[in-house]
Amino acid sequence: MSWASRRRLMYLAGVILFFTAVIGGPIAYKIISIPETCFDGKQNQDETAIDKGGPCVLLDERHLAPHAVQWARSFEVRPGIYTAVAYISNPNPEAGVRVAHYRFGLYDSQNVLVAERTGTTFIMPGGITPVLEGPIETGNREVVHTYLQITDEPLVWERMVNPAEQIKISNQQLTDSPVGPRVDARATNIGLDILRNPTFIVTVFDPVGNAFSASGTALPSISPDMPVGISFTWPLPFQFPIGRIDIIPLLPPQ
């Protein structure tokens, strides 16, 4: 290679190096200095999956304790009319699901489908989420088995808190009347903010822990430190002795 050719090559290399430093340097710095986020499509900042876990709102279900449908049952309210209820247990104290689609299936003694009901619920963190559906007509066919199926796959788990923990239930009383059993209780908001549109699910168990009746009610709001009465009624007498009564408040997770 001649001296002139080498000189032109050195000049070209210098030009390329100059533009690389002037243009490429700032671009590289900008790329390197972009902060890691939960929306960058990368598994970083201690995430356990891409944009899940670590400091992110979305969570990796593989690193959570499994949730489960604890039980599901149906109770005849009137001839041919049933109420279905189920308990979903979630042992994760800071993880929940905002929207979960479900299907209740009600079956007779031959395991033939009698009726079904679909809906949506949330799964509260760190406890039991009751799911209640009714009235469900069965055409006077007897329901023997009830199943609740969560139809979403996979569920979207998020870091969240349960605002219903601010509601405390007290003064439970069961009374019988000519129009049927009645459960009364008091709900108190121990938090600092007004809680709007809370719902309450009551489940009645026999002495060995089998649920045999359920009902629900709702309030428009509960102000802080202002106890509010809640009531649940049934049209027919209970057929079993009472062992315990669960009243669980529900509010969408935050």
Instruction: Write the class of the CATH domain 66-159.
Output: mainly beta
Percentage of the chain exceeding pLDDT 90 = 69
pLDDT band at 31 (very low <50, low <70, confident <90, very high): very low
Is it true that 66-159 and 163-250 share their CATH fold?
yes
pLDDT band at 17 (very low <50, low <70, confident <90, very high): low
Residue 1 confidence (pLDDT):
52
Find all residues with CB under 8 Å of 66, minimum gap 6, and list them: none
CATH architecture of 163-250: Sandwich (2.60)
Residue 34 confidence (pLDDT):
59
State pLDDT tens for residues 178-220. 778 999 999 999 999 999 999 999 999 999 999 999 999 999 9
CA-closest candidate to residue 181, choices 245, 130, 138, 85: 245
Decide if pLDDT at 22 tops 60: no
State pLDDT tens for residues 88-117. 999 999 999 999 999 999 999 999 999 999
Residue 174 confidence (pLDDT):
93
Q: What's the token pair of residue 145?
A: 């088995």
Decide if pLDDT at 27 tops 80: no
Residues recorded for the chain? 254
Residue pointed to by tokens 């007509």: 137
State pLDDT tens for residues 38-86. 878 888 888 889 889 888 999 999 999 999 999 999 999 989 999 999 9
Q: Is 25 helix (H, G, I), strand (E, B) or coil?
A: helix
Residue ranges of domains in the chain: 66-159, 163-250
Its pTM stands at 0.83
- Please give the backbone phi and psi of residue 226, each rounded to the nearest 5 degrees, phi first: -125, 90
CA angle 71, 73, 75 (to 5 degrees): 155
The whole-chain average pLDDT of the chain stands at 88
- Please give the backbone phi and psi of residue 6, each rounded to the nearest 5 degrees, phi first: -60, -35
Question: Residue 113: CA atoms inside 13 Å, Cβ hemisphere, count?
Answer: 8
